[in-house]
Structures are given as C-alpha cells and as structure tokens.
Amino acid sequence: MLSFTHRQLPATIRFGAGCRHELKAILETRNLMRALVLTTPEQAHLGRSIADEIGPLCAGVFEGARMHTPMEVTRDTMALAQSVRADCLVAIGGGSTTGLGKAVSVRSGLPQFVIPTTYAGSEVTPVLGETENARKTTRRADAILPGLVLYDPELTYSLPASFTLTSAVNAMAHAAEALYAPDCTPIIRLMAYEAVGVMMRALPKLYAEPANAEARAEALYAAWLCGTCLGATTMGLHHKICHVLGGTFDLPHAPTHCIMLPHVLAYNKNAAPGAYADLALAMGTERPELAIYDMVLTQNGPVALSALGMTEHGIGEVITQLRASPYANPAPLDETRLRTMLANALAGRAPDAALPA
C-alpha cells in the first residue's frame, strides 16, 4: 500500500523563449529597485545585458562568481551588496552563479532571482555547496531556495556542443540519483522518468543541430525537472563523490558529473534494482551506465578523471572523505569497490570494468 510524504518547494517558475525580458516588470511589481546582478567573468556580457535591460533598477554588477562557491568570493559579494545597498540579487549563468546567489541570499536575507544559462538545475534546489580550505560542504534549508526562476531557452542556443553534453549528463545525474534516494516518492519517480526521457530525446537533435530551438527548450525543461528531483530528495554517492572531487581537487563541475555518473550507476545497480530498471526504461536501454558512457565517448566528451588533472595519489583521500561523512546510498561504501570504481573513472575505462560484485 502506498505511503509517502511529498514536500512541494515554494518557488515560481517562468518558462518560455524571451521570458528574461520580463525581469524589469517583475522587479517593479515587487517594489525592488536596487538589484545586484551576479555572473561569472566568462558570462559578463550576459550580466551587463541584463543590467542594461533593467536600467535604473540595477545597483551594480558582480562578475566574479567562481566554481564550487569559494567563501572568499561570497564575502566579496556580500561587501559589494552592502556598499551598493542592494535590495535583491539577480543571478544569470550556471551553477557557479546560482551558488553565489544562494550563498549571499541565505546570509543577507535578500530575495534572489535566477536566469539559468545551462542545465545545472541547482536553481530549483534548497541546497548550497560551498568551498573553504579545500573542503566542499553542503547544507539544505528552505531559505536557500531562489524564489523565482526565469527559464529562457534562447540563452542556451549558443552553448558549445561539448558543454551541452556535460551539462546535460550533470542534469541527468540529479534525476538518476533521486530514483534510488530513500525519500523518493511516486511524484519524483514520475518526474525523473520524464526528465531523463526528454533529455535523451533532445540530445541527438542538439548534436545534429546545436541551435535547434525546440530541442533547446526540451533540454532546458528536462533540466528543470532533474533539478526539482534533486531538490526534493536526499543526495547519494554520486553527488558526494563530485563534491569531494570538486572541493578538494578543484575539478570542473559538469565534466566531473559526466565522468562519474556511469560508474556510480554500475556501483549501485545491484543494490537498487527498481531504480535501475526505471532509468533503463526511461533511456530505452538495458544498461543505462554503458549507454551514458558510450554516448559521451561517441561525442568526444570527458570519460577520464585523469584528463581533468586527477591523479592516482588522490584516490585514497577521496575514499577517506566519502567514508568519513557519507551520504545516503543504496550500496554500502566498500573500500575495495570504491577504489576499483575510482580507478576505472580515473583511467576512462568502461564503468563495470573489473568492479567487484
């Protein structure tokens, strides 16, 4: 008999081509007159474009958001927000910018608005990951969740093929891990199934035609669903590994997710057969871990941690951190299996290569 608790997160989602142009009216409706726009150096042009569009409602632009949300960047942004007397935050970009907005908002109480340009999904989660002293820690609280997200597919039309791939697999990792989370509900299961299926149908279109407007909208829709799945469930081994690799070794976020997802699926498949079957059905394959690995390999995407700068000497430290503060996971954290899995990922081998049962 069904028995579950499903918690709906309180956020407003606006989805549609060109919807970013509604920001000024939204701010005016809420009587917000001094927005601090946040972005990365690489996407500074987008930040300036939004600043120009909202005109006198922009109090300043911070172009220094960085991967893994370093605490020193948060402190700098807090100081700027105070000096310009900001009354809200507008984050435009991917997970780095969204993370910075969350970090500042949860400390200052400033309302935050997000305009995503990737498939990261963190804009719809009440989760914040921050890095200090080569350690990435995460926390979850309602106050972390952005209040409004503007999903404008037009901002993803120019995403490079390589980043489209890694960001999409990053998104699918959220849905895949939600399927075997201890608090997965029937609603989340449906959302995860839809998310993975839509993303897998959109990607071949984007490989053939990167600016395909319909496929870009489908991928962004799938990313929203994936992020929502992550926001409503407990994270597991995949996200813990990626947090350790990012926080301690400064590996890039999306490529790390892209490499690790097939390996963690192989690690967990016997301990979570129902979730594995759901994922296989959504993807239209019998072996989802191999399907993802082969897709990334075929598209010349990253399959080896060594290509990101990871070395064999770091494996022991990763295992130590995984076992010291583990996330919920269906399969136990066995040192031998973890070492084999990480060695496979380091070398770029197939995800089930010599992995002990």
Residue type at 121 in one-letter notation: G
Long-range contacts of 19-24 (CB under 8 A, 24+ apart): 19/150, 19/151, 19/152, 20/50, 20/53, 20/92, 20/115, 20/150, 20/152, 20/154, 20/155, 21/53, 22/150, 23/50, 23/53, 23/54, 23/90, 23/113, 23/115, 23/150, 24/53, 24/54, 24/55, 24/57
Residue 187 pLDDT grade (very low, low, confident, very high; cuts 50, 70, 90): very high
Q: Is the pLDDT of residue 132 over 80?
A: yes
Q: What is the four-CA torsion angle of 253, 240, 246, 60, rounded to 10 degrees?
A: 70
Q: Is the pLDDT of residue 8 over 80?
A: no
Quick one: average pLDDT of 61-90? 97
Q: Is the pLDDT of residue 73 over 80?
A: yes
Q: Can you tell me which residue has the tokens 């310009």?
A: 84
Q: Round to whole Å and give the CA distance between 197 and 190.
A: 11
Residue 2 pLDDT grade (very low, low, confident, very high; cuts 50, 70, 90): confident
Residue 4 pLDDT grade (very low, low, confident, very high; cuts 50, 70, 90): confident
Q: Is the pLDDT of residue 353 over 90?
A: no
pLDDT value at position 13?
96
pLDDT value at position 157?
96
What is this structure's pTM?
0.95
pLDDT in tens, 245-299: 999 999 999 999 999 999 999 999 999 999 999 999 999 999 999 999 999 999 9
pLDDT in tens, 148-179: 999 999 999 999 999 999 999 999 999 999 99
Quick one: average pLDDT of 135-150? 94
Q: Round to whole Å and give the CA distance between 184 and 197.
A: 18
Tallying the residues shown for the chain, one arrives at: 357
Quick one: average pLDDT of 217-235? 97
Residue 9 pLDDT grade (very low, low, confident, very high; cuts 50, 70, 90): confident
Domains and CATH numbers, the chain: 12-156 (3.40.50.1970), 161-347 (1.20.1090.10)
Q: Round to whole Å and give the CA distance between 256 and 306.
A: 11
Quick one: average pLDDT of 102-131? 97
Q: Round to whole Å and give the CA distance between 63 and 49.
A: 12
